[in-house]
Amino acid sequence: MNNIYICEKPSQAKDLARILNLRTKKEGYYTNSQENIAITWAMGHLLELAPPDQYNDIYKKWNIDLLPIFPKKWKYLVKKGCNNQLKIIISLIKSSSLVTIATDYDREGEAIARSIIEKAKYKGEIKRLCLTALDDASIIKALNNIKDGKDTVNLYYAAQSRAKADWLVGMNLTRLFTCLTKFTNQTSAVSIGRVMTPTINLVVERDNKIENFVSKPYYELYAIVNNQGQTYKAKWQPNGDLLDEDGYIIDKNIVNQVVTKLSNHNGIVTKFASKIVNQNPPLPFNLNSLQQFCNKRYGYSAKKTLEIAQTLYEKHKAITYPRTDCQYLVETMYVERHDVMNALVQIDPSIVPTINAADLSLYSKCFNTNKVTAHHAIIPTANSNVSITAMSVEEKNVYELIRRAYITQFYPSAKYNKTQIEIKILNEIFTASSTFLVFPGFRVLYGEDCSLNNYKEESTSIQAPTNTFQIPQSNIGDILSIDGYDIENKKTQPPQHFTEATLLGAMEKISRYVNDPILKNKLKETDGLGTPATRAEIINNSINKDYLCRNKNYILATPKSKAIMPTLPNSIKDAGTTALWEQQLENILLGEINSNDFIANIESYINEILANYKSNQIQLDVKTSESMPTKRKYSIGRTKNNISSRKKTKEKNLSIWFYIKWDWFECIS
């Protein structure tokens, strides 16, 4: 063989073989009549890191004294049912003078191919085919722009470092805390995951805040302003000394005294500003924003949305690569806009009016090569052979969202009249503002849907729906009559339970949940907890392991997770620790740090945890949902669980005892 292409899945190999005109199919690969080129495929990760007992039989028994487990030479096992395909690929590699990696162009795709190449002990030339979509035009474009393997090898190092870090944390700390924890009346593993555990802790902390929340009354004061017969409300801005520690007026007497003082007095305009502001179209989707939007709009889980997107990518060839963290497009893709729009019309003629209203001379801010990472944003392909009728209802829904987000880039900005006024009554300040839509622009594609692809506007703060009221024009120094005052009695509200959409958002923007200012600043530049491609599986695994559960559209903590999380060291459940590790993986990808140094840091961290916890014992009186004898619905909101804990410290040994009482329930999906 002169050249062998390694794809990630059989369907991708079939598409590539069609373009390269390889018409002969043999067992495990496609080739031509000369058999000088072949396209083969993996089936995901054919090689997986071996469990501890594959290194030594002594690890079959979970024993704290045998920790830590740090492999000196990592072992791999062949995934079940894949032995024959692996042998075929290795045989092809050994007979080739060139290997071209054609798996998904990301960390895991690179690892799938290179782990097999390493096992084959191949030392020859390696190239990289960077596929971003599987329609014919995109494959041909990628074939004309093949990279040298040296340019992408860091993807492999980052993927291997991630897998080894997950193995080290999971295998060592799961065994440690399972051995330390004694469950009442049952045996259960305390599963620790580098990303899973801090994700679970986010939900536990949120649910605990809700359960322990005590609402308090507070008051807001509004002046009813009359400007030439048109009235509106202006809100009182009290002196900071009158507010409690949370920024509320909690003493109604204060408000009543202000009303008495200001009665029968006019107001004077001290500030007035009215201007037209632009709201740019929302960026195209990345995977995270697509999952969040589909959860809000259709109630799809993150896993379901990913599965639908993968089908649109692989089967229908309707969209570009979905497992991306980027919402931008390379600038050269601007010239492809006519091809994409023409294809969309051929695919679905009903969209003609929408596309005719687009202005293809507009240059959206989404075209920014400097902001594109390994993959650009998810957009529709220019494949006119896509069949809408072959799609399921769910696939149509997701495709329409992606299609609309692309078309939106060629619609003008929405324009708002934003007005702000400050009024002084005696020595008290009142303010009001209005945002009035004067030109809908791109918003005609969204109607009253204000979520706008999880809209994040960089240049303006306008995120309001259309208002029917606008503050009248005023000048500084104008005297305005006050028709009266309105005291609004309010109560503080607890935070909302996480939905899958908001939990994905929290995982992505994890810096919001970190208190340390230095760490918070560092985390603003990271991808957060996990990656767009792994977050759905992390949430799903947390549910399968009985740490989280679904109740309607909410994600809730179970009694098991609420009992276990307080016993774990902060560094394991701290989102900041894991996010910084993710940042280091990104630095490995960029070639800025060495993967061996990263693994050494992980091992040092595990040794520190072991040194601090080997002598501890944790006993939990907790039952997982599978063992609950009676099934009841778990109602969302504040619960009245009776939770008590007592800590006993004797010399260096710390015993933590939890006794938890709750009504049996089952979380309803």
Q: Which residues are catalytic?
A: 321
Across-strand partners of 644?
A: 659
H or E, element range at 584: helix 575-589
Question: Which of 19, 297, 302, 5 has its CA nearest to residue 138?
Answer: 19
Distance of CA 197 to the CA centre of its chain: 16
Distance of CA 666 to the CA centre of its chain: 27
Q: Are 478 and 266 in contact (CB under 8 A)?
A: no
Using alpha carbons only, how large is the chain's radius of gyration in Å?
Answer: 30
Rounded Cα distance between 441 and 592, Å, is 44
CB neighbours of 251 closer than 8 A, spacing ≥ 6?
219
Q: What are phi and psi of 332, to 5 degrees?
A: -70, -20
Rounded Cα distance between 107 and 113, Å, is 10
The burial class, CB within 10 Å (0-12 / 13-18 / 19+), for 97 is exposed
Q: Are 244 and 250 in contact (CB under 8 A)?
A: yes
Helices (H), ranges, 451-524: 500-508, 517-523
Q: Are 38 and 98 in contact (CB under 8 A)?
A: no
Rounded Cα distance between 152 and 99, Å, is 14
The torsion region of residue 187 among left (phi > 0), alpha (psi -120 to 50) and beta comes to: beta
Question: Which of 27, 38, 42 has its CA nearest to residue 2?
Answer: 38
Across-strand partners of 267?
A: 480
Q: What are phi and psi of 405, to 5 degrees?
A: -60, -35
Instruction: Provide the residue type at 21 as one letter.
Output: N
The CA–CA distances, whole Å, from 431 to 218, 237, 428 equal 19, 7, 10
Question: Which of 122, 129, 121 has its CA nearest to residue 149?
Answer: 129
Question: Which of 560, 553, 559, 504 has its CA nearest to residue 533?
Answer: 504
